[in-house]
Amino acid sequence: MTPVTIVRPGEGELITANGPSQIRILEDGSHTGHRLGIGEITLQPHTPGPIQHRHAQHDEGFYVLSGAVRFTVGQDDYDAGPGTWVIVPPGAPHTFANVGDDPAVMLSTFTPDLYVQYFRDLKKMVESGQPMTAETMTPLWQKYATEISSEYRP
């Protein structure tokens, strides 16, 4: 029998590697046969997100729980408030930012779960004193089939 997993408020693995943003890992894939990873992302007010990028090996979903999040997909911006669901398939360029005056919180899914380890590796990189530049980030992105781009790829 497979046990049920419960993660309560304040529990989960907290990763703060990207300035004022943080992610709380709610499911790292170890309970889902690595089919699904889930994180709670908190962005402080007026915080930019990552440089626009695309993934080749996983879908990424975002459900806005609170605050205002601006998603940029290629050249298009979409403002998303609470209750908005955004799904980013492999090959779609994307980024997000908190454009509001209040913290923004999103539930984020990774299918499969491989991108959860990216956040752990990013945290190790930052804690080691490496700056977050295109030069230092490129090998990490390549490890997770991610590349900087504002264009779609089939």
CA atoms lying within 13 Å on the CB side of residue 97: 12
Model confidence, pTM? 0.91
The pLDDT of residue 18: 62
The pLDDT of residue 131: 86
Closest CA to 51 of 148, 130, 118: 148
Closest CA to 13 of 29, 28, 24: 24
SS3 content of the chain, % helix, strand, coil (to 5): 15, 40, 45
Report the alpha-carbon angle 135-141-143, nearest 5.
115
pLDDT along the chain (154 residues), means of 10: 88 82 94 95 92 94 98 96 97 96 97 92 89 86 92 87
